[in-house]
Amino acid sequence: MKITTVLFDLDGTLINTNELIIKSFLQTLDTYYPGKYSRNDVLPFIGPPLEESFGTIDETKIEELVKYYREFNIKHHDDLVEEFEGVKETVEILKEKGFKLGVVTSKIRQTVNMGLNLTQLSSYFDVVITVDDVQKPKPDPEPILFALEKLDSKPEETIMVGDIHYDILAGKNAGTKTAGVAWTLRGKDYLSSYNPDFMLDTMTDLLEIVGAK
Protein backbone atom coordinates (compact mmCIF):
# COMPACT_ATOMS: atom_id res chain seq x y z
CA MET A 1 0.00 0.00 0.00
CA LYS A 2 1.18 3.54 -0.76
CA ILE A 3 2.69 5.52 2.12
CA THR A 4 0.62 8.63 2.89
CA THR A 5 1.79 9.37 6.43
CA VAL A 6 5.22 9.83 7.99
CA LEU A 7 5.77 9.94 11.75
CA PHE A 8 9.07 11.03 13.24
CA ASP A 9 10.69 10.74 16.61
CA LEU A 10 12.19 14.08 17.64
CA ASP A 11 15.44 13.84 19.64
CA GLY A 12 18.22 12.12 17.74
CA THR A 13 16.05 11.86 14.63
CA LEU A 14 14.95 15.33 13.50
CA ILE A 15 17.01 17.45 15.86
CA ASN A 16 20.41 16.89 17.39
CA THR A 17 19.89 17.12 21.14
CA ASN A 18 22.52 14.52 21.96
CA GLU A 19 24.97 16.80 23.75
CA LEU A 20 22.18 18.61 25.57
CA ILE A 21 20.73 15.33 26.86
CA ILE A 22 24.10 13.87 27.82
CA LYS A 23 25.15 17.02 29.66
CA SER A 24 21.76 17.22 31.39
CA PHE A 25 22.09 13.65 32.65
CA LEU A 26 25.72 14.08 33.70
CA GLN A 27 25.04 17.33 35.53
CA THR A 28 22.07 15.82 37.34
CA LEU A 29 23.81 12.62 38.30
CA ASP A 30 27.06 14.32 39.29
CA THR A 31 25.09 16.60 41.59
CA TYR A 32 23.37 13.72 43.36
CA TYR A 33 25.99 10.97 42.93
CA PRO A 34 29.38 12.72 42.49
CA GLY A 35 31.89 10.84 40.37
CA LYS A 36 29.72 7.76 39.94
CA TYR A 37 28.55 8.13 36.33
CA SER A 38 30.52 8.67 33.11
CA ARG A 39 29.40 9.70 29.62
CA ASN A 40 29.13 6.06 28.51
CA ASP A 41 27.03 5.24 31.57
CA VAL A 42 24.27 7.65 30.56
CA LEU A 43 23.93 6.62 26.91
CA PRO A 44 21.37 3.89 27.74
CA PHE A 45 19.20 6.54 29.40
CA ILE A 46 18.67 8.38 26.12
CA GLY A 47 15.28 7.66 24.57
CA PRO A 48 13.01 6.35 27.32
CA PRO A 49 10.95 8.77 29.43
CA LEU A 50 13.03 10.42 32.15
CA GLU A 51 11.00 8.76 34.88
CA GLU A 52 11.92 5.36 33.49
CA SER A 53 15.62 6.17 33.20
CA PHE A 54 15.95 7.72 36.65
CA GLY A 55 13.83 4.94 38.11
CA THR A 56 16.64 2.50 37.35
CA ILE A 57 18.91 4.60 39.58
CA ASP A 58 16.75 5.44 42.59
CA GLU A 59 12.98 5.01 42.67
CA THR A 60 12.71 7.21 45.75
CA LYS A 61 14.20 10.25 43.99
CA ILE A 62 12.60 10.09 40.54
CA GLU A 63 10.63 13.32 40.88
CA GLU A 64 13.59 15.22 42.32
CA LEU A 65 16.01 14.00 39.66
CA VAL A 66 13.59 14.76 36.82
CA LYS A 67 13.00 18.26 38.15
CA TYR A 68 16.74 19.03 38.33
CA TYR A 69 17.33 17.53 34.86
CA ARG A 70 14.57 19.57 33.23
CA GLU A 71 15.69 22.84 34.81
CA PHE A 72 19.24 22.35 33.50
CA ASN A 73 17.97 21.09 30.13
CA ILE A 74 15.69 24.06 29.52
CA LYS A 75 18.32 26.57 30.62
CA HIS A 76 20.90 25.29 28.12
CA HIS A 77 18.51 24.14 25.36
CA ASP A 78 18.98 26.82 22.75
CA ASP A 79 22.78 26.76 22.97
CA LEU A 80 23.10 23.05 22.24
CA VAL A 81 20.29 22.06 19.82
CA GLU A 82 20.26 22.05 16.00
CA GLU A 83 18.52 20.12 13.24
CA PHE A 84 20.23 17.22 11.52
CA GLU A 85 21.43 17.63 7.93
CA GLY A 86 18.72 17.11 5.31
CA VAL A 87 15.82 17.29 7.76
CA LYS A 88 14.27 20.60 6.68
CA GLU A 89 14.73 19.79 3.00
CA THR A 90 13.00 16.44 3.47
CA VAL A 91 10.00 17.63 5.47
CA GLU A 92 9.51 20.57 3.09
CA ILE A 93 9.27 18.22 0.12
CA LEU A 94 7.01 15.78 1.95
CA LYS A 95 4.69 18.61 2.94
CA GLU A 96 4.60 19.98 -0.60
CA LYS A 97 3.78 16.50 -1.94
CA GLY A 98 0.78 16.21 0.39
CA PHE A 99 2.07 13.70 2.93
CA LYS A 100 0.57 13.84 6.41
CA LEU A 101 3.37 14.46 8.90
CA GLY A 102 3.59 13.97 12.64
CA VAL A 103 6.01 13.89 15.55
CA VAL A 104 5.74 11.14 18.17
CA THR A 105 8.09 11.66 21.09
CA SER A 106 8.62 10.67 24.72
CA LYS A 107 9.48 14.26 25.69
CA ILE A 108 7.18 16.70 27.48
CA ARG A 109 5.40 19.25 25.31
CA GLN A 110 7.31 22.26 26.66
CA THR A 111 10.71 21.05 25.45
CA VAL A 112 9.23 19.58 22.26
CA ASN A 113 7.87 23.00 21.33
CA MET A 114 11.20 24.60 22.21
CA GLY A 115 13.07 22.26 19.85
CA LEU A 116 10.63 22.57 16.95
CA ASN A 117 10.44 26.34 17.23
CA LEU A 118 14.21 26.77 17.55
CA THR A 119 14.81 24.76 14.37
CA GLN A 120 11.79 26.29 12.61
CA LEU A 121 10.25 22.88 11.95
CA SER A 122 6.95 23.26 13.80
CA SER A 123 4.93 24.47 10.79
CA TYR A 124 5.53 21.25 8.85
CA PHE A 125 3.76 18.90 11.25
CA ASP A 126 0.03 18.24 11.35
CA VAL A 127 0.18 16.58 14.76
CA VAL A 128 2.67 16.39 17.63
CA ILE A 129 2.18 13.66 20.23
CA THR A 130 4.21 13.99 23.44
CA VAL A 131 4.53 11.92 26.59
CA ASP A 132 1.94 14.26 28.15
CA ASP A 133 -0.71 13.00 25.72
CA VAL A 134 -0.61 9.26 26.45
CA GLN A 135 -0.75 6.74 29.27
CA LYS A 136 1.86 4.41 27.77
CA PRO A 137 4.87 5.84 25.88
CA LYS A 138 6.86 4.07 23.17
CA PRO A 139 7.52 1.17 22.65
CA ASP A 140 3.81 0.78 23.39
CA PRO A 141 1.83 1.53 20.20
CA GLU A 142 -0.48 4.01 21.96
CA PRO A 143 1.37 7.23 20.90
CA ILE A 144 1.53 6.15 17.27
CA LEU A 145 -2.07 5.00 17.15
CA PHE A 146 -3.15 8.27 18.76
CA ALA A 147 -1.27 10.23 16.09
CA LEU A 148 -2.87 8.15 13.35
CA GLU A 149 -6.31 8.73 14.83
CA LYS A 150 -5.76 12.49 14.72
CA LEU A 151 -4.41 12.29 11.17
CA ASP A 152 -7.17 9.93 9.99
CA SER A 153 -4.47 7.57 8.73
CA LYS A 154 -4.05 3.81 8.75
CA PRO A 155 -0.99 1.94 10.09
CA GLU A 156 -0.41 0.15 6.81
CA GLU A 157 0.00 3.47 4.97
CA THR A 158 2.38 4.89 7.58
CA ILE A 159 6.11 4.79 8.27
CA MET A 160 7.65 5.54 11.68
CA VAL A 161 11.16 7.05 11.62
CA GLY A 162 13.37 6.95 14.70
CA ASP A 163 16.83 6.65 16.20
CA ILE A 164 16.34 4.11 19.01
CA HIS A 165 14.83 0.67 19.33
CA TYR A 166 11.77 2.04 21.15
CA ASP A 167 10.79 3.83 17.92
CA ILE A 168 11.19 0.70 15.82
CA LEU A 169 9.33 -1.49 18.29
CA ALA A 170 6.51 1.04 18.66
CA GLY A 171 6.09 1.15 14.90
CA LYS A 172 6.05 -2.62 14.65
CA ASN A 173 3.59 -2.86 17.56
CA ALA A 174 1.31 -0.35 15.84
CA GLY A 175 1.53 -2.11 12.47
CA THR A 176 3.42 0.61 10.56
CA LYS A 177 6.51 0.40 8.40
CA THR A 178 9.66 1.47 10.24
CA ALA A 179 12.86 3.30 9.34
CA GLY A 180 15.95 3.64 11.49
CA VAL A 181 18.47 6.46 11.13
CA ALA A 182 22.16 5.70 10.72
CA TRP A 183 23.14 8.79 12.74
CA THR A 184 21.75 7.25 15.92
CA LEU A 185 24.08 7.89 18.84
CA ARG A 186 24.15 4.18 19.64
CA GLY A 187 25.38 3.20 16.19
CA LYS A 188 23.84 1.87 12.99
CA ASP A 189 24.52 -1.79 13.85
CA TYR A 190 22.64 -1.44 17.13
CA LEU A 191 19.53 -0.10 15.44
CA SER A 192 19.75 -2.54 12.53
CA SER A 193 19.56 -5.42 15.01
CA TYR A 194 15.89 -4.51 15.62
CA ASN A 195 15.15 -5.10 11.92
CA PRO A 196 13.58 -1.84 10.78
CA ASP A 197 12.11 -2.07 7.28
CA PHE A 198 14.53 0.62 6.12
CA MET A 199 17.74 2.27 7.30
CA LEU A 200 18.37 5.90 6.35
CA ASP A 201 21.95 7.04 5.82
CA THR A 202 20.64 10.59 5.42
CA MET A 203 17.15 11.95 5.99
CA THR A 204 16.73 12.64 2.27
CA ASP A 205 16.85 8.85 1.67
CA LEU A 206 13.29 8.83 3.00
CA LEU A 207 11.99 10.65 -0.08
CA GLU A 208 12.63 7.75 -2.44
CA ILE A 209 11.31 5.19 0.05
CA VAL A 210 7.91 6.90 0.32
CA GLY A 211 7.69 7.78 -3.37
CA ALA A 212 8.28 11.52 -3.04
CA LYS A 213 11.26 11.59 -5.39
- Measure the CA–CA gap between 13 and 163, rounded to whole angstroms: 6
- Measure the CA–CA gap between 183 and 84, rounded to whole angstroms: 9
The pLDDT value recorded for residue 28 is 97
pTM, rounded to two decimals? 0.92
Q: Is 11 among the catalytic positions?
A: no
Q: Which amino acid is at 67?
A: K
Q: How many domains does the chain have?
A: 2
The pLDDT value recorded for residue 48 is 86
The pLDDT value recorded for residue 186 is 87
The pLDDT value recorded for residue 1 is 74
Q: Which of 150, 40, 168, 161 is nearest to 100 (CA)?
A: 150
Q: In the chain, which residues have pLDDT < 50? A: none
The pLDDT value recorded for residue 46 is 86
Catalytic residue among 9, 11, 163, 167: 9
pLDDT by residue (tens digit) across 101-114? 999 999 999 999 99
Same domain, 93 and 187: yes
The pLDDT value recorded for residue 183 is 96
- With contact defined as beta carbons under 8 Å apart, do 164 and 184 qualify? yes
Same domain, 50 and 95: no
Same domain, 99 and 73: no
Q: Domain residues for 31?
A: 18-80
The pLDDT value recorded for residue 47 is 82
The pLDDT value recorded for residue 87 is 97
Same domain, 204 and 113: yes
- Single out the residue in 59, 80, 101 at which a domain terminates: 80
Q: How long a stretch of residues is the chain? A: 213
CATH of the domain at 175: 3.40.50.1000
Same domain, 60 and 91: no
